[in-house]
Amino acid sequence: MLNTSSELITIKHRVLGGVIHYEVWKRDAPLGYLIIHSLFAGTSRGGIRLASDISEEEVHILAEGMTLKFGILGLPQGGAKAGIRADPDAPEQEREAMLSEFLGALAPVLRQRTFIPDPTSEPQTRWFAGH
C-alpha cells in the first residue's frame, strides 16, 4: 500500500495466463488499470487512456491490440495499455492530478522500464518531463 496525498492508494497485482494485471485503487474505488499483455526484451509499451467508465477488460483488449500492432509492424517491444478512470473533458489540472496519482502509484513498474508509457497528450508529456 502507498499513502499519497492523504488518500489511501492500493495496488493489486496478479498474473493471469502470462498477462500482468495491475489495479490501482483509491480508497474503495478503482483509479485505473495497467495491463502488460506481452514483454519483448523485458519491456512493453502503450498509451494511457482516460475514460470515466473504463474497465479492466477494456484495458486488457487494448493491451492485446498493442501486442498485435507491434508484432505486425515488426517493432521490438511488447504490448501494454493503461486506463485511468477520469473524465477526459475535465479541467487540465484535474486530469494532471489523476495522472500523477496513477503513475506515482506505479512508479516501481515505471522505474524498472517494464512498462514504457507512450505520452501522447500534453498533460502526460508534462508529467514525464517533471519526473
Residue 104 above 80 pLDDT? yes
Q: Which fold has domain 2-130?
A: Rossmann fold (3.40.50)
Backbone φ and ψ for 74, nearest 5 degrees, come out as 70, 25
Query: What is residue 128's predicted lDDT score, i.e. its pLDDT?
Result: 59
Residue 5 above 60 pLDDT? no
Q: Which residues contact 92 (CB under 8 A, 6 or more apart)?
A: 122, 123
Residue 6 above 70 pLDDT? no
pLDDT, tens only, 29-63: 899 999 999 998 888 999 999 999 999 999 999 99
Residue 2 above 70 pLDDT? no
Average pLDDT of the residues of the chain: 85
Query: What is residue 130's predicted lDDT score, i.e. its pLDDT?
Result: 60
For the chain, which residues make up each domain, given as ranges?
2-130
**Grid coordinates given for 57:** 477488460
Query: What is residue 117's predicted lDDT score, i.e. its pLDDT?
Result: 86
DSSP 42-104: TBEEE-EEE-TT--HHHHHHHHHHHHHHHHHHT-SSEEEEEEE-S-TTS-HHHHHHHHHHHHH
Mean pLDDT, residues 89-99: 89
80 alpha-carbon distance from chain centroid: 8
Query: What's the Cα-to-Cα distance from 51 to each of 61, 63, 82, 130, rounded to whole Å?
Result: 15, 16, 11, 24
Sign of CA dihedral 88, 93, 94, 95: positive
Confidence of residue 1 (pLDDT cuts 50, 70, 90): very low
pLDDT, tens only, 63-76: 999 999 999 999 99
The pTM score is 0.85
**Grid coordinates given for 107:** 512508479
Angle between helices 122-130 and 92-105 (to 10 degrees): 50
72 alpha-carbon distance from chain centroid: 23
Q: Which residues are catalytic?
A: 81
Query: What is residue 27's predicted lDDT score, i.e. its pLDDT?
Result: 84
Query: What is residue 65's predicted lDDT score, i.e. its pLDDT?
Result: 96
